[in-house]
Amino acid sequence: MSLTRHFSRGREMARSAGDHAADVFAPLTLIGRGLRSHADWAKARWAATPKERRGPTLLVGAAVVLGVFLLPHGPLLAIVALLASAAWVGRRPKTPAEPAPDPADTKLPALYAALTPYFGGFDDPGAPYRPEGDWKAAFGDWEFDQDGRLAALEIGYPAYFTDTEPSARARIEQVVQGKAGRSREYRFDWDEESNRLRVTALAPLPADIAAQRFVTAPGEIVLGFTDGEGSRRTIPVEQGGVTEQQPPVVWRVGPRSAEPHLLALGAPGHGTSTLLRSIALQALPHGDLVVVDGASTGEHACLVNRPGVHTVETSLHGALAALEWCAQETERRLVALNAARHHGLAAPADVTRPLWILLDRVTELSELAHAEGRTDPQELLEVPLRHGRAARVTVVFADGLDALGRISPTVRTCARARVVLGPVNAESGPAALGGPLDIAPAAHTPPGRGYARIGTTGPVRLQVPVTVDPLDEDAPEQLRDAVAALLPHRAPRTAAPAEAPVSASLAGEPAGATRIGDASPVPPVPPLPPAQAPAGPADLTKEALPEAAPVRSRPVW
């Protein structure tokens, strides 16, 4: 056996012997500590007794000892009582746990030091921000949550700070979010009059609200849900098997809408197609749809052959034909509405029924059109965008955040209802929303999380309802069933098939486009008789195919 092993065994034996000795002599140590405590107490009492009272005290003590001695088993009981008292007093008190450090004393000085280079007046000895300064003089009220994270803070800053410049504000917001934690969203309220900045940490929005029928008035579309500061209105929603009241982000459309068109931008995989599906499900019970899928991903294949869906286009040829028909339909509606007003008659039902044009990543088709020397699909949107409110035509334009520069000025000007989804920074967020964003987004955002800005109002937080593609086999079955239950279904056919509006050049169209030709007309919109057709652009139905040649639908893939 080596010398090292001998030493190791010797140390283990010595440690074990010490532990056993401590266990054996623990009662004696406890009693001895208690007797010493009693002796110290008696000594202190004797020292505190005045001299003239010490004699009587000794006499009383001797009488007590004599009485105990004369009692049966008195000395034994006295010894037992003394030992019990010594054991009780000799207990070693538990060491109190060290109090947790105040998070304000650890985090706020670090934030103060980080803000000093931006707020500091190094030439002014009385400046609130300076090296080795007092952070309590610069910060007002603060609040931390149970986990020690910053929940609210009021920051004072000097008057010479350029708080009117967005770049200067963005630097301060970035510093504050970095010190407070980038896993949460923060609202920054700049009070320029009093030179105060109020920072509030925002609770996460619920991300488990599935697609369902929302309680709204006609002409209202629920884009998603926000917090109590973003909306004072609440609606009942099914959430986690129970009914909850949640504040919605409502977009109002129609002839009296201030912002009749929507522009939605987002990072890939963060829910722009989900937003389009959610809008389509809410619009179908009261209107008709024309869908253009520029990316040809099949995200909107669930809308094919549905009542109220005129067409779902995935090719450049079909998209141009569909958008050209939308422009002609907008003009026809305007003519019919003006004629009805001129004669004092009610507008026909086919021109008052809303028409929705849903566009998903059309900029990809624009690039293809430029390469082939054809008309840009975005140019065909000018008539629906400029006159859509009067004609009950609504355009929803969704694309990637990186495609903002490729979107036409007409779309950016007319679509003043804005939505941005996914992570954004100090430059991309205001550019997508068309205004300043006073909320610092979290570093990681779930799908469907973003911000909405309707017109000139301030931006609000947004969580889009979970509206998965019901044809996606990888999606949870419960969510797929919820979307499928909201899709309209065509009633069994009882009459001969009728014609539906299709492209004027369907015969030479690629197989990528999908149309409806062998289905009954969209209820309750009857087709126009030949006598009522406008004298302008010809009806697409009459140009597309002969009367006795119904068109068979083709898959969107």
The domain segmentation of the chain, as residue ranges, is: 103-202, 220-491
CATH for the stretch 220-491:
3.40.50.300
Would you say residue 534 has pLDDT above 70? no
**Where residue 7 falls among pLDDT bands split at 50, 70, 90?**
low
Instruction: Output the DSSP codes for 204-220.
Output: PPP--BBS------TTE
Would you say residue 525 has pLDDT above 70? no
| b/e burial code for range 268-306 (CB count within 10 A of at least 16 → b) | eebbbbbbbbbbbbbbbeebbbbbbbbbbebbbbbbbbb
**Where residue 104 falls among pLDDT bands split at 50, 70, 90?**
confident
Q: Average pLDDT for residues 203-215, to the nearest whole number? A: 93
Pairing between strand 150-156 and 196-202?
A: antiparallel
Adjacent-strand bridge partners of 142:
153
Gap between the Cα atoms of 103 and 181, Å rounded: 13
| Position with higher pLDDT, 487 vs 510 | 487
Gap between the Cα atoms of 201 and 92, Å rounded: 45
Would you say residue 8 has pLDDT above 80? no
pLDDT for 238 equals 94
Would you say residue 277 has pLDDT above 90? yes
Would you say residue 107 has pLDDT above 80? yes
pLDDT for 189 equals 94
Q: What mean pLDDT value characterizes the chain? A: 83
**Cβ atoms of 68 and 75 closer than 8 Å:** yes
Q: How far apart are the first and last CA of the chain?
A: 79
What Rg value do the Cα atoms of the chain yield, rounded? 39
Q: Average pLDDT for residues 259-267, to the nearest whole number? A: 95
Instruction: Output the DSSP codes for 256-316.
Output: T-S---EEEEE-TTSSHHHHHHHHHHHHTTTSEEEEEETT---TTGGGTT-TTEEEEE-SH
Q: How many CA atoms are closer than 13 Å to the CA of 106, on its beta-carbon side?
A: 8
Q: Average pLDDT for residues 514-526, to the nearest whole number? A: 39
pLDDT for 537 equals 39
| Position with higher pLDDT, 155 vs 551 | 155
Gap between the Cα atoms of 552 and 118, Å rounded: 68
| Position with higher pLDDT, 356 vs 122 | 356
| Position with higher pLDDT, 94 vs 489 | 489
- Sign of the dihedral through C-alpha 20, 24, 27, 31: negative
**Where residue 22 falls among pLDDT bands split at 50, 70, 90?**
low
Would you say residue 31 has pLDDT above 60? yes
**Where residue 541 falls among pLDDT bands split at 50, 70, 90?**
very low
Would you say residue 62 has pLDDT above 70? yes
pLDDT for 379 equals 95
| Position with higher pLDDT, 234 vs 48 | 234
CATH for the stretch 103-202:
3.30.980
For the ranges 21-30, 380-389, 435-444, the maximum mean pLDDT occurs at 380-389
pLDDT for 530 equals 40
Distance (Å) of CA 31 to CA 19, 40, 56, 265:
19, 14, 30, 78
> Among 41-45, 224-228, 426-430, which is the least confidently predicted range?
41-45
DSSP state at residue 47: H
pLDDT for 61 equals 82
Would you say residue 536 has pLDDT above 60? no
- 345-390: per-residue pLDDT in tens? 999 999 999 999 999 999 999 999 999 999 999 999 999 999 999 9
Gap between the Cα atoms of 463 and 423, Å rounded: 13
Task: Return the amino acid letter for 481.
Answer: D
Q: How many CA atoms are closer than 13 Å to the CA of 248, on its beta-carbon side?
A: 21
**Cβ atoms of 303 and 289 closer than 8 Å:** yes
Phi/psi at 256 (nearest 5 deg)? Answer: -105, 15
